[in-house]
A = this chain, B = another copy of it.
């Protein structure tokens, strides 16, 4: 499996992804699921991928080829983020139908695409295997793909449109930490990318490897903060009488 989450706040966008892929528990590999495209100062895109690895690799390759070959429609020529999501959805569909349908294999893949095109606001979309897409909302300012349930509660409690970028990035990492702890098929390296609105630059990128001090510190610190919070809760609540 995979876990990717992206957050849209007033100050910009946050992207976080794990790097584990597996076909059964005895075939585990490491692949980056975060892909960057853009022209500094003009337009920037970040794409997160989940699902069948052959499909996601095929889709990313096609995006690159369309740019290289100057196809009529490509990420450097689309006029809006919405068009970019539509275009990604079409490529996703085409890639999935390429190998026919087998009853036992799912060729499905999902993507999150976010970024900004000069003279318009940053935005974020989730592209489904069916090719259509959705945006986040003010009350749910995030999108998830892959193994999303373990890490959802912390996002629901912390995130709002006015959350600052650093807090949002940390919240995404805590959500990732909870997911890794409860599910073996999600694992490091963890990538985190923060995009500040109107910066048109993707240089705030961190790759946190398996042995990363920061990941370990985060894990230990959040564990003890959470136990502390629970023990406080436990000392203030009084059970109702039977």
Interface residues of chain A, those whose CB is within 8 Å of chain B, are: 149-154, 156-158, 166-167, 170-171, 174, 178, 181-182, 203-206, 208, 212-214, 217-218, 221-223, 225-230, 232-234, 236-237, 239-240, 242
Known: A217-B237, A225-B230. A182 touches B156 (CB 8 A): yes
**Please, which residues of chain B bring their CB within 8 A of the CB of A228?**
229
A205's closest neighbor in chain B, by CB?
A: B242
**Please, which residues of chain B bring their CB within 8 A of the CB of A150?**
149-150, 152-153
A156 touches B181 (CB 8 A): yes
Number of copies of this chain that the complex holds: 2
**Shortest beta-carbon distance from A163 to chain B in Å:** 11
* Extra 19 A-B pairs, beta carbons < 8 Å, given A149-B149, A158-B226, A166-B239: A149-B182, A150-B152, A152-B182, A153-B181, A154-B226, A157-B223, A157-B227, A157-B230, A167-B234, A170-B230, A170-B237, A203-B242, A204-B242, A205-B242, A214-B237, A218-B233, A221-B236, A225-B233, A226-B229
**Complexed CA–CA distance, A18 and B130 (Å):** 34
**Shortest beta-carbon distance from A185 to chain B in Å:** 13
11 contacts between A and B (CB under 8 A): A149-B149, A154-B226, A156-B182, A157-B181, A157-B223, A170-B237, A203-B242, A205-B242, A214-B240, A225-B229, A225-B233
Known: A156-B181, A170-B234, A221-B233. A240 touches B213 (CB 8 A): yes
Q: What are the 8 tightest A-B residue pairs by CB atom distance, in nearest-first order?
A: A149-B149, A225-B229, A229-B229, A153-B178, A152-B182, A214-B240, A225-B233, A149-B150
**Shortest beta-carbon distance from A177 to chain B in Å:** 9
A212's closest neighbor in chain B, by CB?
A: B240
A230's closest neighbor in chain B, by CB?
A: B158
**Shortest beta-carbon distance from A156 to chain B in Å:** 6
- Most B C-beta atoms less than 10 A away, residue of A157, A158, A203, A229: A229
A233 touches B222 (CB 8 A): yes
**Please, which residues of chain B bring their CB within 8 A of the CB of A182?**
149, 152-153, 156
